[in-house]
Amino acid sequence: MLRIPNLSCPLDADVEGLRRLAAEHLRVRVSDVKSVALRRRSVDARDKSDVHFVVTLDAEVRSEAALLKKARPGTLSPALPDRIPPIPAARFEKRPAVVGAGPAGLFAALVLAMAGARPILIERGKPVEERTRDVRYLQTDALLDPESNVQFGEGGAGAFSDGKLTTGTKSPWQRFVLETFVRHGAPEEILWLNKPHIGTDRLKGVVASIRNEIIALGGEVRFSTRLDGLSVRGEHLEGIHIRTPRGDEELDTDTVLLCIGHSARDTLNRLWQGGVRMVQKPFAMGVRIEHPQALIDRSQYGSFAAHPALGAADYKLNVHTPDGRGVYTFCMCPGGEVICSASQEGGVVTNGMSLHARDGENANAALLVGVPVSDFQDDHPLAGFVLQRQIEKAAFRAGGGDFRAPAQTVGDFLEGRETRAFGSVTPTYRPGVTPADLRAVLPEAIVQDLRYALPRMNGMLHGFAHPDAVLTGVETRSSSPVRLPREKDGCAEGLRGLYPCGEGAGYAGGIMSAATDGIAAAIHAVENAGIPY
């Protein structure tokens, strides 16, 4: 099998077309190409008159050794299988606990279960398939659940949002994550798409299936259960305090993987009070910006916008600002919706999602400004949460209560006037938006940088600063404003047996990076505490 990289491919190429493409590159007859498979595919839309795919193919061809011998460097190589690191088998004297069932926690628990460790997975919410029938509220976790005896207080929502798997991480576990998702029901195309995406509607079943595998391998899952504290002797973990619908319990364990996500403020506060070391970390905040998807398609693909092979277009933009903060887009959701992601009463937080089909009328993305720790105006490790909370409360007030979000058109925002009515873009956020002036919500530095960046981004993507585009506030939780320092073996500084990982610990910024960080933490735990069979 040969791997052929970076081939220009017509949008309408089928399998036979890929065979012809491989044959043409190799200068052999089409009949010499026995089989061909996509290894990677991305869109090249730099020239709007020639939008096409760029593909990497794995082809089975006659006389492969001879073709490799005469190929120019970088144009051909053997199609070697992905090298996924082995998962060591081990037994633990005490069952390890994994706190949190987001990407980091779910994959940490899976790897521990595959290692034979029989982990206990602790999740403060309900099973994802039971949270709501409406996938567009997947991430809210129903805020405070009146039917539960566990009051979640300031806890995080904890979910996968819509399953965007694009990442800059170089972890050797990426392929394992992708293959695991596919094995549990995700579309196979995520194995070769340059920007893989599962979709909120598909994620619910995938997450439940992975959880069932953990249970089948000897793991245990406890829902509606909250981590309340640690039992520590010296610098060693000896157990954890948990709150369940049945009351408070003590769990005897010396290995805890902390995968609580970036919104579990109450848990982080308890851990800080219990002596866990934490430091401030920069993050970013801003708004969700919403356009008609058709506008984005035309801007990105020109006359090719309607081609069925392309689907909904995306974008990624960034601007350097005079104050050094920078403005960038993040978590872009083609054909998606802006969603409520609040986890506390009296605060509004937005996020975005797309179904797998990405066929909604609007496109949305986070439009964020960097927030340095100097903005916290306090040296307390958790001061970033205070700043986030202040802005979320301001958004709640500006929205008029009941978790409605304040929203403003780009035209009004740039002109410095309150929005009173929306134009051609209908906001998708539910439970609804209130026309407002975001200057009453966001810090002045954030407002000024957004006003600086919008026209410049419009020069990069025509129509980005369209007057009718909608800004919905606020997006405050792009990443954690705190980091839990850890040693080289994954343990928290000064506390053996506690493994901070994922977004909540300040070590990830998306599903893939969180999942691979959770896996790395699980491997550390096996190597440190596990006893080889």
Q: Supply the DSSP string of 226-286, one letter for each residue.
A: EEEEEEEETTEEEEEEEEETTEEEEE--S-EEE---TT-HHHHHHHHHTT---EE--EEEE
Taking the C-alpha atoms of residue 241 and residue 231, their distance in angstroms, rounded to an integer, is: 7
Domain-terminating residue out of 454, 475, 496:
475
Domain-terminating residue out of 453, 475, 497:
475
Q: What is the pLDDT of residue 502?
A: 95
Determine how many CB atoms are found less than 10 A away from the CB of residue 190.
18
Q: What is the pLDDT of residue 530?
A: 64
Q: What is the pLDDT of residue 138?
A: 40
CATH number at residue 52: 3.30.70.2700
Three-class SS state of 65: helix
Q: 219: which 2 tokens? A: 């793991």
Question: Cα angle at 135 between 133 and 138, to 5 degrees?
Answer: 100
**66 and 199 co-located in one domain:** no
The closest alpha carbon to 362, from 308, 299, 294, belongs to: 294
361 inside domain: yes
Long-range contacts of 297-304 (CB under 8 A, 24+ apart): 298/463, 299/461, 299/462, 299/463, 299/464, 300/45, 300/461, 301/45, 301/48, 301/51, 302/45, 302/48, 302/49, 302/51, 303/48, 303/49, 304/11, 304/45, 304/48, 304/51
83 inside domain: no
Determine how many CB atoms are found less than 10 A away from the CB of residue 201.
17
**165 and 38 co-located in one domain:** no
**451 and 313 co-located in one domain:** yes
pLDDT under 50 in the chain at which residues?
133, 135-156, 158
Q: What is the pLDDT of residue 199?
A: 93
311 inside domain: yes
What's the predicted TM-score (pTM) here?
0.93
How far is CA 192 from its chain centroid?
18
Taking the C-alpha atoms of residue 247 and residue 245, their distance in angstroms, rounded to an integer, is: 6
Q: What is the pLDDT of residue 155?
A: 47
User: 3-class secondary structure for 195-232?
Assistant: CCECCHHHHHHHHHHHHHHHHHCCCEEECCCEEEEEEE
**227 and 317 co-located in one domain:** no
Q: What is the pLDDT of residue 141?
A: 43
Name residue, tokens 């293959």: 179
442 inside domain: yes
**260 and 292 co-located in one domain:** no
User: E strands, 62-183, where?
Assistant: 77-78, 90-91, 97-99, 120-122
Amino acid at 494: G
Q: What is the pLDDT of residue 533?
A: 55
456: DSSP letter: H
Task: Give 318's strand partners.
Answer: 328
CATH number at residue 96: 3.50.50.60
Helix (H) or strand (E) holding 108: helix 103-114
Domain-terminating residue out of 74, 105, 121:
74
**422 and 302 co-located in one domain:** yes
End-to-end CA distance of the chain: 37
Q: Which domain holds residue 120?
A: 90-278+484-532
**336 and 458 co-located in one domain:** yes
**116 and 52 co-located in one domain:** no
**467 and 499 co-located in one domain:** no
Task: Give 248's strand partners.
Answer: 243
**459 and 326 co-located in one domain:** yes
Largest Cα span, the chain: 72
79 inside domain: no
How many domains is the chain built from?
3
**451 and 525 co-located in one domain:** no
107 inside domain: yes
80 inside domain: no
81 inside domain: no
**385 and 324 co-located in one domain:** yes
